[in-house]
Structure 1
Amino acid sequence: MAKRKKERLTEGKQNIIASLIEEYDIQTAEDIQDALKDLLGSTLEAMLKSEMDEHLGYDPYERTDSLNARNGNKTKKIRSKYGEFEINVPQDRDSSFEPKVIKKRQKDISDIEGKIISMYAKGLSTRQISEQIEDIYGFEVSDGLVSDITDKLLPEIQDWQHRPLSSVYPVIYIDAIHFSVRDNHVIRKLAAYVIIGINQDGMKEILTIQVGENESSKYWLSVLNSLKARGVKDILIVCSDGLKGIKEAISVAFPKTEHQLCIVHVVRNTLRHVSYTDKKQYAKDLKSIYHADTEERAYEIMLNVTEKWDKKYPRSMDIWANNWDSISTIFKFSPALRKVIYTTNTIESLNSTFRRLNRQRSVFPSDSALLKALYLSTFEATKKWTMPLRGWGTAYGELATMYEGRLD
C-alpha cells in the first residue's frame, strides 16, 4: 500500500506553533509538555467559566435579580496525560453548579485506571506500574492504589468464572502453567490450570482458569463438575498432558468422554534423559509410532522402539506402555482430525502469553494477584481468536459420524 503523504500544516497552525514557541520559549521536549499542560489548564478554566455563565444565565458583572451568584473559585488538582496541575473551578452560592467538562470529584482526566489495568494485563507488578505512571505523567501512584483499582476486577472475574457454557463441546484442552506466589512470606509454586473448549462452530473459548496446588482425581473431578454445573452436558474428547488423576476424573464426570494424552508431552517426557547425540534418532522413531496408519501398526512399532532403546535408556518407553489407552485414541480418526486432538498446542498461544507474566514478575504477591493477571492476559491473547480451527468443517462432520447423535 502506498505511503500517505503527510499533510502540510495550514497557515493557522503554523501561526499557533510560532506563537507557542515564542510565548513559552520552547527549547526541549519537556518545554513542550509544560506548555501543553499550561494550555490545557487555561482551556479547562475557560470552559468551566463558560459553563458557569450558562448555568447562572448572566455574564459576570451583569445586573440580575437571580438569587444565585458566583462565589469565587476553588483550587482543584488534576491528573492528565501531560502530568499533574491545578486549575481554578468557579463556585456558585447555592452549590447547584454541575460542571460537565470536569465533573465534581473527578480528579483524573487521563483514563488512568484503564492504563493501569492495561499494564497489569501485560504482567507489570504494582511497583513497576507505579514507576511507569510517575515517569510518564509526573505524579506518583501508590502500590495500594494500583491494587485497589485492579481489585475492582475480582467481582467481574467471579462472574466470568460462573458464566453459563454451551451444552456440548466436541473437544476441550487442559494444560497447566506454574507460577511462584508469596504466601505468609513463603514462596510456593502454584499452577494455573487452563481449560479451552472448541465449540461446535470450531471457535476456541476459554472455559475456566483455576489456580491450584495439588493435582488429584478429587481435584479434577471438582473442576469437571463445575463445568457441568455451568451447563456442559457432554464432551467428546478431552486432550491433556499427564495431569495426575485427570483420567479417573473424566471417567466419573463424563463417562462417555474419551481422553487423549498430548503426544508432544509424551515425546518430551520420553526424551528427557536421552543424550543429545541420540535425541534426533529417538524422536524420529517415536514419530513413526504416532504417524502409523492404524492402532495395531502403531502398537507394533512401539514395541520395536522399546526393544531398540531399552538397553541404553531403561524404562524410557514406560510412559507409552502404561498410557497406551489414552495415547491410542487418535488412531480412530483421519489424519486431519488427528492434528486437532493429538496435542494441546491449540492452547500454546495462550500459554505463551502466560509465560510472559513469569518473565515480567518472578513472584506474585498473592493468589488473587495471580488470578487478576491471568484473567486480564486472556483478553490480550484471545483478541486474535476470530476464526474457527482450520479444516473444522471436515473435522466436525467426522466427529458427528463417529459420535452419532451427541452433537445434535
Structure 2
Amino acid sequence: MKNLHFTQEQVTKILEEIAIKENGLQELQKLSLEAMMRAEREEHNATNGDMSNGYRPRRTFGRGKIIELRVPRSRNGQFYPILLSLLRDQEEECRKLAFNLYGAGLTTEQVGQIFGDIYGKEYSTSQISRMFDYARNDVQTWLQRPLEPYYPIIMIDATFIYTRRIDHVSKEGYYTILGVRADRTREVLAVINFPTESANAWEVVLQSLKERGLKEIGLIVCDSLTAIEDSIWRQFPETEIQLCAIHLQRNVNKHIKPKDKALVAEDLKEVLRTGDRNDTVEKGYQRWLEFCSKWGKYYPSIKRMGENNRYKLNFTYLGYDYRTHNMLYSTNWIERLNRDYKRTTRMRGALPGPDATILLLGYVAMTRSAYQRKIPKIDYEQNKFHWEE
C-alpha cells in the first residue's frame, strides 16, 4: 500500500464516493483520525526505537454518533496519541456543558434535545444522566473536603424540596450550612438531607463538621427551631447564637389579625432596629418585653412569648459592632441561597431521590461567584471575630 500513488483528483474522487454513502461522513472521520494516529506512532517508533504492537479499541463522538476507533499501540506501552487527549478534552467539555445546562434549571430531557440540535442526535435522559458522573464526583469531593478550623460566622437553615423516596413523593429537608471565613469570603460547608427538620438532626450535621476539621465558631445565626441552641452548645459550647429576627417577625405575624398587622409591624421594626451604636442586648430585650406587654393584652400568645427568656437570643446581634447589625440579625444570606435552590429545582417537579437533589444543590452552592468576594464592613467587629489581615 505504501507504493501506491494517487493524484489529487483521484484522492478527491475516492473521498467523495465514501462521503455519499450512508454514514459516509463518520467513516471519513474515522479514517482520518486513525491515519493521523498511525502517522504519530511511526514518528514515535523512529524517535524512541520502539515497535508497533497492534491496536486497541476506543469510542468517541462524531456528528451525533459513536465512532469505533482502532488506536495504535507500541510494544513498550509508552505511546499515547496526542489526538486522544484532544478527544478526551472534547468529551469532558460535552459532559460539563450537559451538567451546566442541567444545573441552570433544564431537565435531562431538555438537555438531551439541545444536544440533539448541536450534535445531530437526540440523547435519551439516561444517556444525559450518565454524562453527570464527573459532576457527581466533583460535588461529593467538594462537600466532603476538609474545613478551616475557625469560622467567625456560620448561618444554618433547611429548605424543603419535593423528593421521591421508594414509591412516594414528599417534601424533604435539605440542611445547608453557610460559613464566613476569616478572609471575609463565604462558602457553603455542607448540604445534607434529612426527611424532616429537628434540633437532633442539626446536632448530627454539626458533629460532621467537627469531623472534617472545624473546631471553633464565633457566632451561629439560625431560625428559632425548638431546642436548636441546646444542640449547638453541646457541640460548640463557646459559640454565641443569634435567632433570626426575620423568623421572629414571621412568627409574631402568625398570631395577629390582619387589621393589626401594620401597627404590629411598625412596633416590631423599632424593637428589632439596627445600626444604633448605643444599643445593647439588654435594651433590645427590654423593648421586646414592652412590645409583648402591649400586644399581649389582645393576644395571649404574644404575652406568653414575653414570658419566655429564650427570646433574648433574638438580640445577640446588638452585642456586636453597630455597623454589622444588619448582616448578623437574620439568616438572609442563606435564604438567598435557598431561593437559588428553588429556582434550579422548580422546573423539575419531584426530584428522583436525595442523591440527585444534593447533586443539584451542591452544584448551585459551589458555583456561586458572589461568595468569592469579600464582605464589606463585616470586619468592623474586631473584638469578637478574628480576621485575617
Q: TM-score interval w.r.t. the shorter chain?
A: 0.7 to 0.9
Equivalent residue number for residue 357 of structure 1: 344
Q: Secondary structure of 1:365's partner?
A: coil
Q: Secondary structure at the match of 1:132?
A: helix
**2:157 aligned partner:** 175
- CA distance in 1 between counterparts of 2:257 and 2:376 reads 36
Q: Say if 2:293 is the partner of 1:307.
A: yes
Q: Number of matched residues?
A: 353
1:399 aligns with 2:379: no
- Following TM superposition, by how much is the alpha carbon of 1:271 offset from its aligned partner in structure 2, in angstroms? 1.5
Q: Closer, same or farther in 2 for the Cα pair 1:321/1:194, shift >3 Å?
A: farther
Once the two structures are TM-superposed, the CA of residue 196 in structure 1 deviates from its matched residue by 1.0
- Please, what is the CA RMSD of the aligned residues? 3.9
2:64 corresponds to 1:84: yes
SS at match of 2:383: helix
User: 1:308, CA displacement in angstroms?
Assistant: 3.2
1:266 and 1:320 in contact (8 A); partners too: no
> What is the aligned partner in structure 2 of residue 388 from structure 1?
374
CA distance in 1, matches of 2:162, 2:314: 31
Query: CA distance change for structure 1 residues 123 and 320 in 2, over 3 Å: closer, same or farther?
Result: farther
Which sections of structure 2, spanning at least 5 residues, go unmatched? Answer: 1-22, 44-50
Per-residue CA deviation, residues 148-170 of structure 1 (Å, 9 max, x unaligned), is 33244444444333322111111
Aligned residue for 2:260, secondary structure, equals: helix
Residue 353 of structure 1 aligns with an amino acid whose one-letter code is D
Counterpart CA distance in 2 for 1:77 and 1:146 is 17
User: Alpha carbons of 1:321 and 1:258: their partners in 2 closer, same or farther (altered >3 Å)?
Assistant: farther
State the partner residue of 2:283: 297
1:131-146 alignment to 2 at 5 Å? 131-146=113-128
Distance 1:45 1:168, change over 3 A: same
For residues 296 and 339 of structure 1, the distance between their equivalents in structure 2, rounded to whole angstroms, comes to 18
2:329 match? 342
* Contact kept in structure 1, 2:147 and 2:189, CA below 8 Å: yes
> In 2 relative to 1, CA 38–239 (structure 1 residues): closer, same or farther, beyond 3 Å?
farther
Shift in CA distance, 398/183, structure 1 to aligned 2, threshold 3 Å: same
Report the AA paired with residue 393 of structure 1.
D
Structure 1 residue runs of 5 or longer lacking an equivalent are 1-36, 58-66
User: 2-side partners of 1:368 and 1:91: how far apart?
Assistant: 37
Tell me how far apart the structure 2 counterparts of residues 56 and 273 of structure 1 sit (CA, whole Å): 82
Counterpart of 2:383 in structure 1: which amino acid? E
Deviation of 1:90 (Å): 8.2
Identity of aligned residues (%): 27
The 2-side partners of 1:109 and 1:137 are apart by 12
For 2:130 and 2:340, locate their aligned partners in 1 and report how far apart those are by CA, in whole Å.
Answer: 24
SS in 2 for 1:189: strand
**Cα distance per residue 1:251-274 (max 9 Å; x no partner):** 211111111101011112212354
Match of 1:194 among 159, 176, 182: 176
Name the TM-score, length of structure 1 as normaliser: 0.73
Asked if the contact 1:220–1:245 (Cα under 8 Å) also holds between the matched residues in 2, the reply is no
SS in structure 1 opposite 2:190? strand
